[in-house]
Amino acid sequence: MCSYNVPAVEVTALQKSYGAKRVLTGVDLRVAPGTLFALLGPNGAGKTTMVRILATLTEPGGGRATVAGFDVVRERHRVRRAISLTGQYAAVDELQTGAENLRMMARLTGLSRPDARRRAAELLERFDLVDAGDRRAGTYSGGMRRRLDLAASLVGQPSVIFLDEPTTGLDVRSRQAMWDVVSDLVRGGVTVFLTTQYLEEADQLADRIAVLDHGRLVADGTAARLKEQVGGRRLDLTLADPAAYDAAAARLGDRVLLRDPARRTLGVATDGSAAHVRALLDEIDPGRRAVDRFALHAATMDDVFLALTGTPAREKETADV
């Protein structure tokens, strides 16, 4: 484990370009040891590039980054010994059993055969895979494969784990099981750096959340703090007819957090006070004929994402760089 006196991840003025395209434009962030940090952002925001730099797979174009106290350029071999990287898809050998996968990884890290067997047995128990340990990994469900993949990444006992969308494609039950496993890792002192397209995942798990947009950080704080930043509440307005909907959408402009033309509903940030709700209604519907009804909701991470990036939160991130 890295020292608690040293940031698990520290980035200063980090830059990266591919030709004329600037992907990261001077990012600063700091991740405390033993915490879960979530990095969110739309397609092309630079999340994958950030993770690749921190995992020493890509060199930065400027600035500085350290992981577990080691410089990712000058001390990349020490960084690699301190970290683990788990991508979106389980990197397991489907022809081997779960136990064989873990023993193979343990041997690759330099453990003796007896130590490799012991470490594999420990991880099978930790990830609730003992009963499946002698089955070929190709027969595992998606959730089991992800747990095996994460177990394999822990063979070398890293102090910092990078999880790049670890629950993509999993059903709700499997996703919850992964959340439990990741939470246990953090309670055990491991630092987890998470990227995810499921905003409720960041909301549930993360000690801190940063939002990356067009290569720069646009927000950084706890989930509660970020929700307060966009008003803390969302006022959903159902308009009387399509013309009223269009007029209200034009009046609100980029303040709109939610658009549902089929239901003629617009969502806008509010602090939830009667005075602010009344002011919004007077602004949008001075004649008191355009708004059919309204409802007040607590702000969600989707609202934060939309307010800060202006990009649909659920868009699949196949084009991220």
Q: How many CB atoms lie within 10 A of CB 216?
A: 16
What is the pLDDT, as a whole number, of residue 321? Answer: 53
Domain topology for 229-309: Alpha-Beta Plaits (3.30.70)
Q: Higher-confidence residue: 231 or 123?
A: 123
What is the pLDDT, as a whole number, of residue 116? Answer: 92
Q: Higher-confidence residue: 290 or 169?
A: 290
Question: Would you tell me the crossing angle of helices 142-153 and 98-108 to the nearest 10 degrees?
Answer: 20
Q: How many CB atoms lie within 10 A of CB 286?
A: 9
Q: Higher-confidence residue: 77 or 127?
A: 77
Would you kindly state where each structural domain of the chain is located, as residue ranges? 9-221, 229-309
Q: Higher-confidence residue: 311 or 185?
A: 185
Q: What is the DSSP letter of 138?
A: G
DSSP three-state, residue 88: coil
- Which architecture does CATH list for 9-221? 3-Layer(aba) Sandwich (3.40)
> What token pair was written down for 28?
């600063």
Give Dmax over CA atoms of the chain in angstroms.
Answer: 79
Q: Higher-confidence residue: 99 or 254?
A: 99
Q: How far apart are CA 222 and CA 241, in angstroms?
A: 39
What is the pLDDT, as a whole number, of residue 311? Answer: 47
Question: How many degrees, rounded to 5, is the angle at CA 4 between CA 60 and CA 227?
Answer: 70
What is the pLDDT, as a whole number, of residue 41? Answer: 87
Residue pLDDT, tens place only, 274-285: 999 999 999 999
164 contacts 87 by C-beta, under 8 angstroms: yes
Q: Backbone phi, then psi, for 219, in 5-degree steps? A: -165, 150
What is the pLDDT, as a whole number, of residue 312? Answer: 44
The CA distances from residue 246 to 112, 168, 243, 254, 255, in Å, are 69, 36, 5, 14, 14
Average pLDDT over the chain, rounded to an integer: 87
Q: What is the DSSP letter of 59?
A: -
pLDDT band at 225, cuts 50/70/90? confident
What is the pLDDT, as a whole number, of residue 265? Answer: 96
Residue pLDDT, tens place only, 208-223: 999 999 899 988 999 8
- Any idea which residue has 């709109």 for tokens? 256
Q: How far apart are CA 135 and CA 115, in angstroms?
A: 21
269 contacts 257 by C-beta, under 8 angstroms: yes
First to last CA, the chain: 30
pLDDT band at 271, cuts 50/70/90? confident
The CA distances from residue 110 to 88, 96, 157, in Å, are 26, 20, 13
Residue pLDDT, tens place only, 151-188: 888 888 889 999 888 787 777 887 888 888 889 889 98
pLDDT band at 4, cuts 50/70/90? low
Q: How much is the average pLDDT of 59-70? A: 95
Residue 66 has pLDDT above 90, yes or no: yes
Cβ neighbors of 181 (< 8 A, separation 6 or more) are: 127, 147, 150
Q: How far apart are CA 29 and CA 220, in angstroms?
A: 8
Q: Higher-confidence residue: 2 or 141?
A: 141
Q: What is the DSSP letter of 125?
A: H
> What token pair was written down for 92?
């397991």
Q: How much is the average pLDDT of 54-82? A: 95
